[in-house]
Amino acid sequence: MPHLHVEYTPNLAALEPQKLLLRLNHALVATGQFAHEADIKARATAVEVFQVGTMPAERGFIYARLAILSGRPEQVKKTLSDALLEVLKGAAPWPPGLDVQFGVDIVDMDRASYGKARIGG
């Protein structure tokens, strides 16, 4: 915990997903909300088939979903969302003429039923 899922459209050619994940993880650590940096699990997936809106315009997106254990106040969730959004917006030089949308969603994982184990490290 937490789990960070990032989806992005492949027409964002300048985006470097591995670097983006590291920057996002650093932003999460900087919030002070997580005890150990190694608890943050992040992954990125290019969405090969996508549609943004209904027009044939050049569009793309980056969307991050952060799943955290339930019980945090709304202001903490807003702080996490804002931190991730800032990283997403600055993740790459965006192509001129491409409409790029950024989104962040913070979701609660049920604290009572969440399970975790770790070997090594």
30 compared with 114, residue with greater pLDDT: 30
Which of 82, 107, 77, 100 has its CA nearest to residue 4? 107
Q: From residue 26, how far is each of 17, 40, 48, 58, 119 by CA, in Å? A: 14, 10, 27, 31, 23
The per-residue pLDDT for 74 is 97
Render pLDDT for 37-84 as a digit per residue (tens, 0 to 9).
999 999 999 999 999 999 988 999 999 999 999 999 999 999 999 999
- Of the pLDDT bands very low, low, confident and very high (cuts 50, 70, 90), residue 121 is low
> Homologous superfamily of 3-109 in CATH?
Macrophage Migration Inhibitory Factor (3.30.429.10)
119 compared with 40, residue with greater pLDDT: 40
Q: What is the C-alpha radius of gyration for the chain, rounded to an integer number of angstroms?
A: 16
How many Cβ atoms from other residues are within 10 Å of residue 60's Cβ?
A: 20
